Amino acid sequence: MLLTAARARAAVSFCVRGSILRALLRHWRRSSVAGQMRATRVTVDLDQLRHNFRVVRRLVAPASVLAVVKANAYGHGLVECAEIFRQEGAAMLGVAFVEEAIQLRQAGNPLPILVLTPPQAEEAALFCAFGVHALASSREVMEQFAAEARRRGAVVPVHIMVDTGMHREGIAPHQVLDFARWLFEQEGLQPVGIATHFATADEADPAFLWEQLRQFRAVLEQLEAAGMRFPFVHAANSAALVRFPESRFTLVRPGIVLYGYQPWQGGERLPVHPALQWRSRVVEVRRIAAGESVSYHRLYRAQRDTTIATVPVGYADGYTRRLSGRAECLIGGRRFPIVGAICMDELLVDVGDAPVQPGEEVVLLGQQGQESIWAEELACWAESIPYEVLTAIGSRVPRVYCQEEQADAAQLVHGAVAGV
């Protein structure tokens, strides 16, 4: 791991300290300006992220933690969250695509980064240039990676993906031994990890997970008998690392749990809490008479005289139309129904006779007073899952970052630079 980290630091060069400073200031400046300009914003509590990471780290020790930050860190902000996890001791970061890894490198993050989807042959130069770990699930692609690495005088760390039943990517268990032998012979490739992925870790019946785990262990035993060992052996996602300690091996891959959501709904709950809240403000209020309709297609007709509040959030921000006529929001610490069709940029709330005024805060996701709405509830209304709710929040919604553990953004930048 130390050699890998050193290689990553070399890839981002002597300018790491300055690039971290510039990138973080750029992100905070953008968030700050956008937050002042728009009534709608996402607030991310960096202290809560730290707490959530520490809960996971304590639970899985002595295994190391690969913090999954794909999809803009589940909507929370890729660069900012990755830096918090780096400070808290993450051994590695996980992204979905090499473009995300490049964004982290350009922001100065020196941690090892694993791209969790199979690479394409034409991406080999990017993996080499930015010191990124690749998932090895195709001999043909790895041949191209090895050739490009030799041409550049580089070494690409690779993790063998074993398909134990997900059937999405990976090498079949009976083919892993030959594939691994071939990988170890390739100049330009450095096999450093082996992994699998569970299909049912969050389901009540663990039978299929146990079968996947049995297959993975059999592969590991076969490789060890052949003299092949890997510093990074990983299988556990958020649900598995909580429910099945046997699946932790040397590295775990938490995702949703880092952002404060329970990875499964049974058993003991981890002491993690959501770090993200989504808020806006009322921009207009109007009285309508009984029988009048609102929004496109006149899907909602008032049963009595009532007040309608307009909120500048719509499906272009990630507040899906599937929530039309189903969801609620919080105003003044009370729940009110969102009515009519959700528009591209606006939604409407029936506040009845409540004395709601323009400028009042509206909570779409988060807590206000004694009431709260979190991603599980939004997902239920939308017939979806919390993962989709969080990752769907669009880029035009500014992210504003807050923390108390370090006094201000400048101190966080100082901490990031000092730690490199």
CATH number at residue 287: 2.40.37.10
* Residue 35 lies inside a defined structural domain of this protein: no
Residue 23: the pLDDT is 54
The answer to whether residues 88 and 124 belong to one domain is yes
Residue 27: the pLDDT is 53
pTM over 0.85: yes
* Residue 102 lies inside a defined structural domain of this protein: yes
Q: Please count the CA atoms within 13 angstroms of the CA of 179 that sit on its side-chain side.
A: 23
The catalytic residue among 259, 296, 315, 319 is 296
The CATH number of the domain where 170 resides is what? 3.20.20.10
* Residue 403 lies inside a defined structural domain of this protein: no
- Least Cα distance to 311 among 247, 360, 242 occurs for 360
Please answer whether residues 241 and 59 qualify as being in contact, where contact means their C-beta atoms are separated by less than 8 angstroms: yes
The answer to whether residues 180 and 314 belong to one domain is no
* Residue 393 lies inside a defined structural domain of this protein: no
Active-site residue 401, yes or no? no
Residue 37: the pLDDT is 72
* Residue 397 lies inside a defined structural domain of this protein: no
* Residue 378 lies inside a defined structural domain of this protein: no
In the block, which residue shows the tokens 């982290």?
104
The answer to whether residues 204 and 316 belong to one domain is no
Count of the separate structural domains present in the chain: 2
What are the Cα distances from residue 379, in Å, to 68, 116, 385? 21, 25, 5
Active-site residue 296, yes or no? yes
The catalytic residue among 70, 259, 261, 300 is 70
In the block, which residue shows the tokens 């134990």?
164
Range of the domain at 290: 276-373
CA geometry: angle 135, 139, 140, nearest 5 deg: 110
According to DSSP H, which parts of 112-230 are helical?
A: 124-130, 139-152, 176-185, 207-225
* Residue 326 lies inside a defined structural domain of this protein: yes
* Residue 117 lies inside a defined structural domain of this protein: yes
Examine the fold and report which residue of 258, 285, 314 is the final residue of a domain before the chain moves on: 258
Torsion of CA 18, 19, 20, 23, to 10 degrees: 130
The answer to whether residues 241 and 295 belong to one domain is no
The answer to whether residues 69 and 206 belong to one domain is yes
Q: What is the pLDDT along the chain (420 residues), one digit of tens a residue?
A: 333 333 333 333 333 344 454 555 555 555 445 446 789 999 999 999 999 999 999 999 999 999 999 999 999 999 999 999 999 999 999 999 999 999 999 999 999 999 999 999 999 999 999 999 999 999 999 999 999 999 999 999 999 999 999 999 999 999 999 999 999 999 999 999 999 999 999 999 999 999 999 999 999 999 999 999 999 999 999 999 999 999 999 999 999 999 999 998 887 789 999 999 999 999 999 999 999 999 999 999 999 999 999 999 999 999 999 999 999 999 999 999 999 999 999 999 999 999 999 999 999 999 999 999 999 999 999 999 999 999 999 999 999 999 986 534 444 433 333 332
Contacts (Cβ under 8 Å, ≥6 apart) of 4: 112, 133, 157, 192
The answer to whether residues 84 and 145 belong to one domain is yes
Rg (CA), the chain: 24
The answer to whether residues 110 and 137 belong to one domain is yes
The answer to whether residues 254 and 285 belong to one domain is no
